[in-house]
Structure 1
Amino acid sequence: MERLYIISSDTKAIMRTASSYYRSKVLEGNEDKFSIKSPEQIIDNSCLLYGADLKGRKQAVRKILSTTSKLPVPISPTRGVFMFPTSSTKNKDCVWIAFHQVKFYEQRADRTYIGFFDDTGIYVNASENSIDAQYKRTSQVIVHYNRRILFGFGSDMY
């Protein structure tokens, strides 16, 4: 039986695979890991380990951002682990990116290259503007969760 993959601060990205057996490829450190679980199952299981289910995390983010689509997910807010999707989660090209791993992103032809702090990177099928919007939305969520620490006032949630 496969060990369940849990998202950590070393996780850079999670994407679907074309394999008939493995459903996800996880970029972690210098290696690629494969899982029979979908990216959303990995995210849900990781959220549960850190204290809430994916549904609950999405409800909180929906309220913070006042939107329902392409929601970033606080995997472990206390550890600073937040993931954001590059497109609709129903899209087969959707890649989940770890916010804290992103060094830069830039348009290259019809795709966007996302560079990580370890000097690796990946191409995603999304525009730079779309990635920029997702990155900024995730920043809003991070600030919301850390308002008391950053500014000394406000609640950590609503």
Structure 2
Amino acid sequence: MAMEKICNDYEISEKTLALIPAYNLEFGTIAMEGKEEYYVKKTPLELIKHAALIGGAEYDGRRSSMSFLTGIKRKVPIPINPRKNIYAFPTQSPSQMDCHWIFFSHVNHISAAASVSNKETTVLFQNGQKLQLKASAHTLDKQMYRTWMCVKALSGDSPLTP
């Protein structure tokens, strides 16, 4: 890997597919954007928190709001920038090192990978890119549904909205 590919920062955009935790001394995240990968010094959660601020509110505020509106208490999807339709969900607790962030609008299909354990899943994105994860397809399908609930809650036409 060439050193020039490592970035100090990365701005989450409508093109971001996923943020993958990296176990590397030089970078903390692999950001999937379109067909490109960016190696970023910051962690996925640091990038999510910064993007939430750019989108108009702190991460903790967005998380609390979604929890209130949907009843979701764990692995809460985050409306990073609702005006730009940027919503992401964690694959596990955001405090865990192996937490990936998947960007809802880019997911085409989630399927169980051909493995013995049922704990590996392939995420197929709209552009044909694939991401293999150590999480069950059931868990990721549930996260997709929860993110849809967040989108509906913020659109104002949801029975969930108080």
TM-score under structure 2 length normalisation: 0.87
Alignment partner of 1:49 out of 36, 47, 54? 54
> What code does the residue aligned with 1:42 have?
L
- Secondary structure of the residue aligned to 2:112 is strand
Distance (whole Å) between structure 2 residues aligned to residue 59 and residue 118 of structure 1 = 32
* 1:78 corresponds to 2:87: no
Alignment partner of 1:13 out of 1, 15, 18? 18
- Secondary structure of the residue aligned to 1:119 is coil
Alignment partner of 1:62 out of 64, 67, 77? 67
Distance (whole Å) between structure 1 residues aligned to residue 86 and residue 67 of structure 2 = 18
- Secondary structure of the residue aligned to 1:62 is helix
User: What's 1:124 paired with?
Assistant: 133
Q: Once the 2 structures are TM-superposed, how far is the Cα of residue 67 of structure 1 from its aligned partner?
A: 2.9
User: What's 2:122 paired with?
Assistant: 113
Alignment partner of 1:134 out of 143, 146, 151? 143
Structure 2 stretches of 5 or more lacking a match? 1-6
Cα RMSD for the two superposed structures: 1.8
Per-residue CA deviations over 1:89-108 (Å, capped at 9, x if unaligned) read: 23332210000000000001
Q: What count of residue pairs does the alignment treat as equivalent? A: 152
- The answer (yes or no) to whether the contact 1:93–1:124 under 8 Å persists in 2 is no
- Secondary structure of the residue aligned to 2:37 is strand
Distance (whole Å) between structure 1 residues aligned to residue 77 and residue 146 of structure 2 = 7
User: What's 2:154 paired with?
Assistant: 145
- The answer (yes or no) to whether the contact 2:70–2:153 under 8 Å persists in 1 is no
Per-residue CA deviations over 1:56-92 (Å, capped at 9, x if unaligned) read: 1111011022232101000111111100011122333
TM-score under structure 1 length normalisation: 0.89
Q: Bigger CA drift: 61-70 or 120-129?
A: 61-70
Distance (whole Å) between structure 1 residues aligned to residue 28 and residue 61 of structure 2 = 24
> What code does the residue aligned with 2:149 have?
Q
Structure 1 stretches of 5 or more lacking a match? none
> What code does the residue aligned with 2:40 have?
S
